[in-house]
Amino acid sequence: DAKTTQPTSMDCAEGRAANLPCNHSTISGNEYVYWYRQIHSQGPQYIIHGLKNNETNEMASLIITEDRKSSTLILPHATLRDTAVYYCIVNTGTASKLTFGTGTRLQVTL
């Protein structure tokens, strides 16, 4: 699976949009981009995934560049409850091969 690069940490003010970047320059044509998050002392939670097109659901939006070498997860109106570690993963869709790195620690502040 392709590797990803994410910033170690980010801050965001409550109510503002949180934009979390991810670089995956070695992504293959059949690999999806997945985002999970892990709130402290809980298991990771699936957020969204995409292949080429931008995706949106009730939790977030995923913007994938045209060359697919990077993506951005957008939380449109961050709340304190969005404070968590966010993992960007590229994978062909085989759950057993999902590799969780160290992710980005997002701190939402008042």
The residue ranges that bind another protein (CB under 8 A) are 32, 34, 36, 41-46, 49, 87, 89, 91, 93-96, 98-103
Alpha-carbon span 105 to 7, nearest angstrom = 8
Who contacts 44 (Cβ-Cβ below 8 Å, separation ≥6)?
36, 37, 38, 87, 100
| Residue 81 DSSP one-character state | G
Q: Considering beta carbons, is residue 16 or 57 the nearer one to another protein?
A: 57
Q: Considering beta carbons, is residue 7 or 44 the nearer one to another protein?
A: 44
Minimum distance, C-beta of residue 108 to another protein, in the bound complex (Å): 21
Q: DSSP string of 47-64? A: EEEESSS-EE-SS-EEEE
Contact 48, 59 (CB under 8 A): yes
Q: Considering beta carbons, is residue 76 or 93 the nearer one to another protein?
A: 93
Minimum distance, C-beta of residue 66 to another protein, in the bound complex (Å): 22
Minimum distance, C-beta of residue 34 to another protein, in the bound complex (Å): 5
Q: Considering beta carbons, is residue 49 or 69 the nearer one to another protein?
A: 49
